[in-house]
Amino acid sequence: MAAPKGNKYALGHHKGREPLYKDPEALETVAMEYFDLCTTTTGICKPTMSGLIFHLGFNSRQSLTDYRKRNEVFADIITRLRLFVESCYEYNLHGYNWAGSAFALKNMNPKDWKDETHQQVTQTVTEVKPQVVTSSTPLADSEERIKE
């Protein structure tokens, strides 16, 4: 329900909350801090999308998606961040615990990561011979009329 006309509490509130990141470089800087935190002592980076979104200060995945729509620079940076997280999951596919990474990749990018097989069957019919089969069972009245 909209506020009634003349509502003094709504004056000056014609837009939502201030954005967390006004420029794309600030978003990228905070994301790089998160990736540094996720890097183990052996140099392996193990980020997650949920962890990245949380570290950026967003409340949902949709908030990150909304930032992609702001302008082309935000979209490019967020696409690269998602690609980096995806590449880390791909790296984990080479280890013993690959099932979790495979699951994450299928959910992150279902268009490119899916379980399916394709088969192509080619068959050529060269000759068709109709064959009349006689039956010992008598035809019903309705079938007799069709036979004539």
Of residues 30 and 110, which shows the higher confidence score? 30
Where residue 58 falls among pLDDT bands split at 50, 70, 90? Answer: very high
In a domain, 81, yes or no: yes
Instruction: Compute the distance between CA of residue 63 and CA of residue 27 in angstroms, rounded to an integer.
Output: 13
**Single pTM value for the model:** 0.61
In a domain, 11, yes or no: no
Where residue 42 falls among pLDDT bands split at 50, 70, 90? Answer: confident
Q: Can you give the residue range of the structural domain that contains 103? A: 18-108
What is residue 125's three-state secondary structure?
Answer: coil
Two structure tokens written together for 145:
């009329």
In a domain, 121, yes or no: no
Instruction: Compute the distance between CA of residue 109 and CA of residue 131 in angstroms, rounded to an integer.
Output: 53
In a domain, 116, yes or no: no
Number of domains in the chain: 1
In a domain, 90, yes or no: yes
Determine contact, residues 70/89, Cβ cutoff 8 Å: no
Instruction: Compute the distance between CA of residue 17 and CA of residue 63 in angstroms, rounded to an integer.
Output: 12
pLDDT tens-place string over residues 8-34: 666 666 666 788 888 899 999 999 999
